[in-house]
Amino acid sequence: MENAKNEIPIEGLLLKWVDIAVTVQNKTYSVIYELDKSIAYVRGFQITSDHDSLVYGRGTIKIEVNKQEVVPEGYEAKQLYSTPNVAVNERFFIRGNVPAGNGQVKFEYTDTNDASLQFEAYRVRLTLDCVVKGF
C-alpha cells in the first residue's frame, strides 16, 4: 500500500531535544544545537519543562533553524507548550519542512519576572520533530 502524499514512515522521523537550565531570573539563555547530518528537515517544535507554571507564565522564546527565524523573538513559550492531556499527535507546533541546511538550531529562552509566580530554578526543553534524509 502506497503512503499518502504527506505521510512519512516512522523510520523517516526522528525526535531531538535540547535543554536549557534557567538558574537566574530575568535573563536570556541561548544555545546552539547541532543536528545530525542525517536530518533533512525540522518540521515541528514543542516546549516542555520540569516546572510547568514557570515556563508557561514567565517565558518567551526565539528559534532559528539554519539561520532562518522560524519562531520570532518574544514569542510566548506557552504557545508551544503542551501538557500530557493534549493528544500525542497534536503536541507539536508544525512549521512545515524547514531545511536543516547547516544543521544548526539556535534556541533562545528569556525568563521574565511575573508577580504571580515565585522564581525557582527550572529546566526548559525544546523538542524538534525532524525528518531524515531520503523520506
**133 part of a folded domain:** no
Q: Reduce the DSSP state of residue 66 to 3 states and report it.
A: coil
Domain region containing 56: 12-125
pLDDT digits (tens, 9 = 90+) for 83-114: 677 777 778 888 889 999 999 999 999 999 99
Dist. CA 45–CA 55, nearest whole Å: 15
Residue 59 lies inside a defined structural domain of this protein:
yes
Q: Is residue 47 part of a domain?
A: yes
Alpha-carbon distance of 66 to 98, in angstroms, equals 9
Question: Cα–Cα distance between 62 and 132 in angstroms, integer?
Answer: 24
Domain containing residue 70: CATH number: 2.60.120
Specify if 56 maps to a domain.
yes
Q: What is the DSSP string of 72-84?
A: EEEEEGGGTB--T
- Residue 44 inside a domain? The answer is yes
Q: Is residue 49 part of a domain?
A: yes
DSSP at 31: E
Q: How many folded domains does the chain comprise?
A: 1
The mean pLDDT value for 66-80 works out to 93
Q: Are 126 and 17 in contact (CB under 8 A)?
A: yes
Q: Give, in order, the Cα–Cα distances in Å from 126 to each of 67, 71, 106.
A: 17, 12, 10
Instruction: Note whether residue 55 is domain-resident.
Output: yes
This model's pTM is above 0.75: yes
